[in-house]
Amino acid sequence: MVEGAKQGIVVAGGQGEGNGLTQLSYPKGVVVDQLHTVYVADRGNDRIMRWPKGATQGSVIIGGNGRGEQSNQLNQPFGLSFDRHGNLYVVDCGNHRVQICNMNSNAQDLFRIDLDTI
Protein backbone atom coordinates (compact mmCIF):
# COMPACT_ATOMS: atom_id res chain seq x y z
CA MET A 1 0.00 0.00 0.00
CA VAL A 2 1.14 3.50 -0.72
CA GLU A 3 1.02 5.79 2.29
CA GLY A 4 -2.17 7.83 2.17
CA ALA A 5 -3.75 5.63 -0.52
CA LYS A 6 -7.45 4.98 -0.04
CA GLN A 7 -7.35 1.63 -1.84
CA GLY A 8 -4.83 -1.06 -2.71
CA ILE A 9 -2.74 -0.93 -5.87
CA VAL A 10 -2.19 -4.11 -7.89
CA VAL A 11 1.56 -4.66 -8.30
CA ALA A 12 1.49 -8.27 -9.59
CA GLY A 13 -1.15 -10.33 -11.35
CA GLY A 14 -4.67 -9.00 -11.30
CA GLN A 15 -5.69 -10.44 -14.68
CA GLY A 16 -7.51 -13.48 -13.34
CA GLU A 17 -6.17 -16.93 -12.57
CA GLY A 18 -3.87 -18.35 -15.23
CA ASN A 19 -0.30 -18.93 -16.36
CA GLY A 20 0.27 -15.81 -18.48
CA LEU A 21 2.90 -13.23 -17.54
CA THR A 22 0.14 -10.97 -16.16
CA GLN A 23 -1.52 -13.77 -14.19
CA LEU A 24 -1.00 -15.82 -11.05
CA SER A 25 -2.52 -19.05 -9.77
CA TYR A 26 -2.75 -19.45 -5.99
CA PRO A 27 0.14 -17.16 -5.03
CA LYS A 28 1.50 -18.20 -1.64
CA GLY A 29 4.46 -15.96 -0.89
CA VAL A 30 5.75 -12.51 -1.68
CA VAL A 31 8.93 -10.58 -0.95
CA VAL A 32 10.14 -7.18 -2.12
CA ASP A 33 13.80 -6.25 -2.66
CA GLN A 34 15.57 -2.92 -2.12
CA LEU A 35 14.68 -1.77 -5.66
CA HIS A 36 10.96 -2.38 -4.93
CA THR A 37 10.91 -5.38 -7.25
CA VAL A 38 8.14 -7.79 -6.24
CA TYR A 39 8.82 -11.55 -6.21
CA VAL A 40 5.88 -13.96 -5.97
CA ALA A 41 5.76 -17.69 -5.25
CA ASP A 42 3.15 -18.67 -7.85
CA ARG A 43 2.15 -22.01 -6.34
CA GLY A 44 -0.43 -23.08 -8.92
CA ASN A 45 2.01 -22.52 -11.79
CA ASP A 46 5.07 -23.97 -10.03
CA ARG A 47 7.17 -20.87 -10.65
CA ILE A 48 8.67 -17.74 -9.12
CA MET A 49 7.67 -14.51 -10.81
CA ARG A 50 9.44 -11.14 -10.72
CA TRP A 51 7.76 -7.75 -11.27
CA PRO A 52 10.08 -4.73 -11.35
CA LYS A 53 8.50 -1.57 -10.00
CA GLY A 54 6.03 -0.19 -12.55
CA ALA A 55 6.09 -3.29 -14.79
CA THR A 56 2.89 -4.28 -16.57
CA GLN A 57 3.87 -7.96 -16.69
CA GLY A 58 6.16 -10.24 -14.76
CA SER A 59 8.90 -12.62 -15.81
CA VAL A 60 9.53 -16.20 -14.73
CA ILE A 61 12.85 -16.40 -12.90
CA ILE A 62 12.65 -19.92 -11.39
CA GLY A 63 10.56 -22.88 -12.52
CA GLY A 64 7.77 -22.55 -15.03
CA ASN A 65 8.89 -25.80 -16.68
CA GLY A 66 6.08 -27.94 -15.35
CA ARG A 67 5.81 -29.47 -11.91
CA GLY A 68 8.82 -31.62 -11.07
CA GLU A 69 11.94 -32.18 -9.03
CA GLN A 70 14.66 -31.14 -11.49
CA SER A 71 16.73 -28.04 -10.68
CA ASN A 72 14.72 -26.00 -13.22
CA GLN A 73 11.38 -27.15 -11.80
CA LEU A 74 9.35 -26.47 -8.67
CA ASN A 75 6.48 -28.29 -7.01
CA GLN A 76 4.12 -25.89 -5.25
CA PRO A 77 6.50 -23.14 -4.10
CA PHE A 78 5.20 -21.67 -0.88
CA GLY A 79 7.49 -18.98 0.48
CA LEU A 80 10.35 -16.64 -0.36
CA SER A 81 13.07 -14.78 1.50
CA PHE A 82 16.24 -12.85 0.72
CA ASP A 83 19.46 -13.04 2.73
CA ARG A 84 21.78 -10.07 3.25
CA HIS A 85 23.79 -11.03 0.15
CA GLY A 86 20.78 -10.81 -2.16
CA ASN A 87 20.27 -14.56 -2.55
CA LEU A 88 16.63 -15.59 -2.95
CA TYR A 89 15.53 -18.65 -0.96
CA VAL A 90 12.49 -20.56 -2.24
CA VAL A 91 10.50 -23.01 -0.13
CA ASP A 92 9.68 -25.76 -2.64
CA CYS A 93 6.96 -27.40 -0.57
CA GLY A 94 6.02 -30.30 -2.86
CA ASN A 95 9.66 -31.35 -3.25
CA HIS A 96 10.43 -30.99 0.47
CA ARG A 97 13.38 -28.71 -0.24
CA VAL A 98 14.64 -25.15 -0.18
CA GLN A 99 16.39 -23.79 -3.26
CA ILE A 100 18.63 -20.75 -3.39
CA CYS A 101 18.99 -18.48 -6.39
CA ASN A 102 21.85 -16.01 -6.65
CA MET A 103 20.10 -12.98 -8.12
CA ASN A 104 23.46 -11.60 -9.32
CA SER A 105 24.04 -14.53 -11.70
CA ASN A 106 22.05 -16.68 -14.08
CA ALA A 107 22.55 -19.79 -11.96
CA GLN A 108 19.25 -21.10 -10.67
CA ASP A 109 20.15 -23.99 -8.41
CA LEU A 110 23.39 -23.07 -6.69
CA PHE A 111 22.41 -24.77 -3.48
CA ARG A 112 19.63 -27.10 -2.51
CA ILE A 113 18.55 -28.37 0.89
CA ASP A 114 16.49 -31.56 0.76
CA LEU A 115 14.25 -31.44 3.81
CA ASP A 116 13.58 -35.20 3.73
CA THR A 117 17.18 -35.87 4.78
CA ILE A 118 17.30 -33.49 7.73
- Look at residue 37 in the predicted model and tell me its pLDDT: 94
Task: Report how many domains make up the chain.
Answer: 1
User: Cβ contacts of residue 104 below 8 Å, gap of 6+?
Assistant: 86
Q: Is the pLDDT of residue 108 over 60?
A: no
Whether the model clears a pTM of 0.85, i.e. scores above it, the answer is: no
54 occurs within a structural domain: yes
Q: Which residue has the higher pLDDT, 78 or 108?
A: 78
- pLDDT (tens digit, 9 = 90+) per residue, 17-71? 889 999 999 999 999 999 999 999 999 999 999 999 999 999 999 999 999 999 8
DSSP β-ladder status, 77-82 and 59-63: unpaired
Contact 59, 105 (CB under 8 A): no
CA-based nearest residue to 116, from 69, 81, 47, 48: 69
What does the alpha-carbon distance between residue 21 and residue 57 come to, in Å, rounded to a whole number?
5
Residue 17 lies in a domain: no
Give domain status of residue 47, yes or no: yes
Average pLDDT, the chain: 86
**In this structure, is residue 15 part of a structural domain?**
no
Helix or strand or coil: residue 24?
strand
Domain range for 109: 27-117
CATH code: domain of residue 75: 2.40.10.500
Q: What percent of the chain has pLDDT over 90?
A: 65
Residue 20, in any domain of the structure = no
9 inside domain = no
Residue 54 CA to residue 56 CA, distance in Å, equals 7
**In DSSP terms, which residues pair with 101 in a beta bridge?**
88
